[in-house]
Amino acid sequence: MAATMHAFANGAELARNLADKVAASLSAAIDARGAATFAVSGGSTPKLFFQELSARDLDWTKVTITLVDERFVAANNPRSNHLLVAENLLRNKAEAANFLPLYQAAGSVEEAARLATSATARIGNPFDVAILGMGGDGHTASFFPRGSNLKVALDPNTPRGIITMEAEGAGEPRLTFTFSSLQDAKLLVLHIEGESKKDVLTKAQSAGDEAEMPIRAILRRAASPVEIYWAP
């Protein structure tokens, strides 16, 4: 499925435009079936977008937000994506949204993945909106090059849900939605900023192995068109 590039002058302009697009998509889902589902990513890139979106006027009580992926750390850990979302998105008007975390206080990351799969199964699929990021190594979600479960994560036949991932560059063990869970979101966005990320994207769009740059799986095989939002 082809990707469409939306380029903006700066991060603030990108944040406003992406917030407009996402708010419209969530509102359309609420109008159509009375509910909307939204998967977001962590990292520093989405902070301004989260803050913009949090002030948008829609019926947030009918929106369920979850995470594309998460570190196996508690919600108060500074490296938690949950904490990032709580501080930047689940505020203002968006404070009324329903949030489903991936982290579970379980004895192992594998048990947490099972619990998170069960908890998130009830929100239905596909997602109305999924926002992905991309690392300098070409990872997206927690699909890391040489990741412990990368082959399973990228296999389209792997069921929807949460699996574990460990990788050299990942730090803590990770919980991540599978490719099959993300690739058919009604609005599928890759949000990247900076010239270096644009260079990584250019490399990912060329010939090469998905295991080397897992973002290629999304760019090449997603059922939904990938909307790329980029600013310098």
What's the mean pLDDT in 212-223? 98
What number of other Cβ atoms are within 10 A of residue 7's Cβ? 12
Q: Are strands 69-71 and 174-177 parallel, antiparallel or unpaired?
A: antiparallel
**pLDDT above 70: percentage of residues in the chain:** 100
Asked if residue 159 has a cis previous peptide bond (ω within 30° of 0), the answer is no
Each domain of the chain, given as residue ranges in start order, spans: 3-231
pLDDT of 61 reads 98
77 burial via Cβ count (<10 Å: 0-12, 13-18, 19+): middle
pLDDT of 11 reads 97
pLDDT of 15 reads 98
Phi, psi torsion values for 171, nearest 5 degrees: 75, -120
Which pTM value belongs to this model? 0.97
* pLDDT mean across residues, the chain: 97
Angstrom distances, CA of residue 210 to CA of 4, 140, 158, 182: 20, 11, 16, 16
Query: Is 2's pLDDT higher than 80?
Result: no
Report the alpha-carbon angle 78-52-129, nearest 5.
85
Summarised one tens digit per residue, pLDDT across range 169-210 is: 888 999 999 999 999 999 999 999 999 999 999 999 999 999
pLDDT of 169 reads 80
Task: Name the CATH topology of 3-231.
Answer: Rossmann fold (3.40.50)
Angstrom distance (rounded) from CA 153 to CA 183: 12
Summarised one tens digit per residue, pLDDT across range 92-148 is: 999 999 999 999 999 999 999 999 999 999 998 999 999 999 999 999 999 999 999
**pLDDT above 90: percentage of residues in the chain:** 96
pLDDT of 1 reads 63
Token pair for 170: 């990942």
Query: Is 9's pLDDT higher than 90?
Result: yes
